[in-house]
Amino acid sequence: MSQLTHAIEQSLTQRDIRMVSFDLFDTLVFRKVARPTRIFAEAFAAVAEQLTVHMMPSEYEELRHYAERELKNKTEHREVTLEQIIGHLPMGGADQCLLLNAELATEARYGFLDDTLKSLILKLQNTPGVKVVFISDMYLSAKQIRDCFFHDEPALQAIPLYVSSEHKVNKASGGLFKRVAELADQPFESWLHVGDNAIADIKNANLFGIETVRVGPLLDSKRILDTERKLYSAQCDFNAVRFLASTHKPAEVMPSAFELSGFTWGPALLSFCDWVINRSMASKASNVLCLMREGEVFAPLIEKRLAQRGLCGLRIIRLYVSRKSTFWPAVNIEDDDWFSGLMDIFIKRRGYTIANFYADFMLEKDDILQQFSALEFKNSDSVFHNGKNILSLLYQQAEKSKQAVQQRIEAEKRRFAEYFHNEVDSPLSQCITVDLGNGGTIQSHLELALGERARTNLLFYSTNRIYQRLGTLYESFIGAHNDKFNLRRMLWRSPECIESFLLGDVGTTLGYDEQAKPVLGESTPENTSIVDSFYAGIETFFDCFNRYGFETVNADQAIAMLARYVRLPTYNESIVYTQLFHQDNFGADKTYPVIAESQIAEVKRLGTQQVIESLHEHEQWQIGRLHWPQAICSVIDEDFLYRREGLLLNDSYLNILNLIELIEERGWQQFTLYGAGVFFEQFNELTASNGFVIERLIDRKADVNGPYRLKGVEVESLAQALNKGSRKIVVTSYAFKQEIVKNITSVARELGIAQQVQIISV
């Protein structure tokens, strides 16, 4: 049972509920379009050849949207019908008729129902003593909604449906709840309402004493989708699946980790799995080798996707290999420079210590190891012991064990080859390898160790590190051919943003024993619960995507989603990483939290603005210390990154919510609003059920044209409002708030009432 279903059923058992109402759109009814207004464009495209007007479908989408908005603003109760909206378009009656019918047909074609919620509704219909109704703020009529979305659902068609366009009141103002209570003869205290909108469905219903359950993810999905569209031009027709996959959480999962994968990583990994399958089929390979530890996730997901697509003939194998376990087998001791080459590799390796060197070269413990075990090998040439730099001393010691190292390499190579043969039982040339990336080290090691090339080597993403190994060829899901937003470099800079989940709680492969079995390092049990929740979210997305008939997530869509995620993680996405541990991928020498308190403290000390500017100036800044700077900034200030991009400037809905919160904190019930534009219209609608009393409106138009009335409220100049007693003023303009506040203060000072005037602004 999902957490949503459980919450609804729990409300029914804990209270004497006699009626359950369900919102429709984005609660039960969804559309296979990136955003609702795309229905308008699709409708226009469907009849474009029959119309006398000529425009692009996207132009019509905007025209249709603004025609509806203008008509609502001209209507006292703001409730209009589809017929009225289409009739408001600047075109002939024949064209209007075609477009109206096309829009209804398009709604029916692209609409679908949430199966989980539908099953619950049908169950409630047969529950004695419980009445089920639908309630919606919508321009479609009840008949149009039934015809479009319930045409194959006779049981749902029979459920009473109350629509704002027919009753001329809406949930946003609270009026529709009153009307339904009257018509259904239903007291508020025995009523449960289920919907997705935090204000219209939840807060406004609660004001009447109606019990509520909110539908939707905890993630700020609106902020995420708006950002993907505005900054990354994402048009994801499967957004509804992201919403549904994140909404229906099993009871046992960690919600934040589950939603993180269901909303963002699920689509990206589905696209990647399809790409792997398509490349495998095209190359006619017989085996797909998913390299560990990422293979723990990739292998079952590729198998799931093969089953969903009805494909067979590919064998998916989890191959327990790592950079460490394949390192020694890949060394070519036939090369005259093999030994000096080892030294060169180790001196370039980040985090490789003197202790690691002693272990790798099987050196006996001595004073150098005792004193300098934690010293990084690459810095050993600048540290001295008994008058000599440590690097030269270690090189001398390593030379003495050269033969032992050579024997080790031969043994490691033999054990690895035996392990590969036992697991794969096919030449590498008949296999495709799959790994996360970014440098393709393991694939190069595989080919060197086995002395042959793979059919192809597939990486989720790559950087120019792959060209350090020109003997190995790679193909990248995110590569030079499609990396529009510098995503590869960001993933290279902060791999913990995904590696931590893909590596999970499985220990890295350290090598192979005498029986050619993989030897695994220590696991990370502290990650088990959170990783299981992450994987469950991905599976849920795959299942929903397939169940509702979606076919593909193209790479461009995946890249747009991931670029937003890495650059602009939300608070709920970022806070997950304070609970997640990352294990060093080369030998598991270190396990550390991705976001630790020490990192948060450091970013606070430096300042979030300075941190992001430093990161933009030099992407390697604080690498290895601040693992994912953007996420740390969001943990500290959830709005910072979005405010910095200018994304909050015109977010009227968010600004209204912030204003309501500020007004309630101050305990204001009666006040004056400064600004009589569209913002006032939305504010007035959303706060109608709060019991706020708007004394008057202040607008500069009144300075020129004199006082006038808007929605029953007097609109006056600033001086007139102050002279009539306005002392509590709420500024509804975000862009000009500083200028407005200065003006209010200046005029109030001239009138000698500056100390009496209080101002709230967002």
CATH number, domain 3-214: 3.40.50.1000
pLDDT at 285: 92
Structural tokens at position 200: 């219209």
Beta bridge partners of 162: 135
DSSP 466: G
Long-range own/partner contacts, residues 142-147 (CB < 8 A, 24 or more apart): 142/166, 144/82, 144/104, 145/24, 145/29, 147/104, 147/108
In words, the CATH class of domain 652-761 is alpha beta
pLDDT at 686: 67
pLDDT at 85: 97
> What are the pLDDT digits (tens) for 195-213?
999 888 998 899 899 999 9
Structural tokens at position 468: 């350090």
Residue 471 pLDDT > 70: yes
Residue 276 pLDDT > 70: yes
pLDDT at 348: 78
pLDDT at 396: 87
Segment 102-124 shows an average pLDDT of 97
Taking CA atoms, 742 is separated from 165, 487, 731, 738, in Å, by 41, 43, 12, 6
Crossing angle for the helix pair 266-283 and 295-308, to the nearest 10 degrees: 70
Residue 678 pLDDT > 90: no
Residue 585 pLDDT > 70: no
Residue spans in the chain of domains classed CATH 3.40.50.20: 652-761
Residues 6 or more apart whose Cβ sits within 8 Å of residue 37: 61, 64, 65
Segment 303-308 shows an average pLDDT of 97
Structural tokens at position 478: 């995110």
Please report, rounded to a whole number, the percentage of residues in the chain having pLDDT higher than 70.
97
pLDDT at 399: 86
Residues 6 or more apart whose Cβ sits within 8 Å of residue 556: 482, 484
Lowest pLDDT segment from 320-334, 473-487, 614-628, 675-689: 675-689
Residue 177 pLDDT > 80: yes
Q: C-alpha dihedral over 83, 86, 87, 88, to 10 degrees?
A: 130
Confidence of residue 443 (pLDDT cuts 50, 70, 90): very high
Contact by Cβ (8 Å): 570, 634: yes
pLDDT at 689: 64
pLDDT at 650: 60
pLDDT at 652: 66
The phi, psi pair for 343, rounded to 5°, reads -60, -40
Single out the residue of 402, 362, 368 nearest to residue 384, CA to CA: 368
Structural tokens at position 677: 């534009």
Residue 624 pLDDT > 70: yes
pLDDT at 536: 96
pLDDT at 659: 82
Cis peptide, bond prior to residue 414, ω within 30 of zero: no
Residue spans in the chain of domains classed CATH 3.40.50.1000: 3-214
Confidence of residue 706 (pLDDT cuts 50, 70, 90): confident
Chain-wide mean pLDDT for the chain? 91
> What are the pLDDT digits (tens) for 131-164?
999 999 999 999 999 999 999 999 999 999 999 9
Structural tokens at position 10: 């729990």
pLDDT at 651: 64
Please give the distance of CA 64 from its chain centroid, rounded to a whole number: 29
In words, the CATH class of domain 274-325+417-522 is alpha beta
Number of H helices, E strands in the chain: 37, 24
Measured from the Cβ of residue 107, the count of other Cβ atoms closer than 10 Å reads 22
Structural tokens at position 110: 């692209």
pLDDT at 734: 65
pLDDT at 660: 83
Contact by Cβ (8 Å): 558, 272: yes
pLDDT at 330: 94
Segment 248-261 shows an average pLDDT of 93
> What are the pLDDT digits (tens) for 308-366?
999 998 999 999 999 889 999 999 998 888 888 888 888 877 778 999 889 888 888 99
Contact by Cβ (8 Å): 538, 294: no
Residue 708 pLDDT > 90: no
Full DSSP string of 238-301: THHHHHHHHHS-BTTS-HHHHHHIIIIIHHHHHHHHHHHHHHHHHHT-SEEEEETTTHHHHHHH
Confidence of residue 735 (pLDDT cuts 50, 70, 90): low
